[in-house]
Amino acid sequence: MAKLNIVLHEPEIPANTGNIGRTCVATGTRLHLIEPLGFSLSEKALKRAGMDYWKDLDVTTYVDWEDFLERNPGAKIYYATTKGRHVYSDAHFEPDCYIMFGKESAGIPEEILKEHPDECIRIPMIGETRSLNLSNSVAIVLYEALRQNNFDHMRLEGELHHLSWDD
């Protein structure tokens, strides 16, 4: 079963992290938060955005990047960045890979990106747009990774209730 991982490197805005947490619960994805965070995990805005899903979230926090690497040895990591050479849809997302996103104001530190240029992926945009909203970016790339893994373990069909196709 695919168990993807989203990594947020020093996220700053609680509503974004709350929205991402809700997306992770809905997709069975683990969330990894690398400190320092720009908010408290008990913050009201975080809980509001994550709604009542936050209690079901598989989330781990780390004191810094080195702590993350030590606790996840050998992890296959893709780095989502506007500086990426490759389009996210061209990457081959393994079932247990990690997809990392940087903080809203600055992205992933360049010293990390320079060590992994082939794993840097980007979402195409036109013109001089700096970036998309963090929670939107996570959803775009995560759902591509899930699609590549055939939406493993996810419900693929819905039902319409109280509606007849003959009406």
Structure tokens at 61: 């926090």
CA distance 111 to 54: 32
The answer on whether 102 is annotated among ligand-binding residues is yes
> What distance in Å separates the CA atoms of residue 63 and residue 126, rounded to the nearest whole number?
36
End-to-end CA distance of the chain: give it in Å, rounded.
40
164 is in an annotated binding site: no
DSSP letter (8 states) at residue 28: T
Check whether 123 is labelled as a binding-site residue: yes
Q: How far apart are CA 125 and CA 84, in angstroms?
A: 12
Rg (CA), the chain: 17
Angle between helices 134-148 and 14-27 (to 10 degrees): 20
Could you tell me whether strands 59-62 and 98-101 are parallel, antiparallel, or unpaired per DSSP bridges? unpaired
Annotated binding-site ranges for S-adenosyl-L-methionine: 102, 123, 131
Annotated binding-site ranges: 102, 123, 131
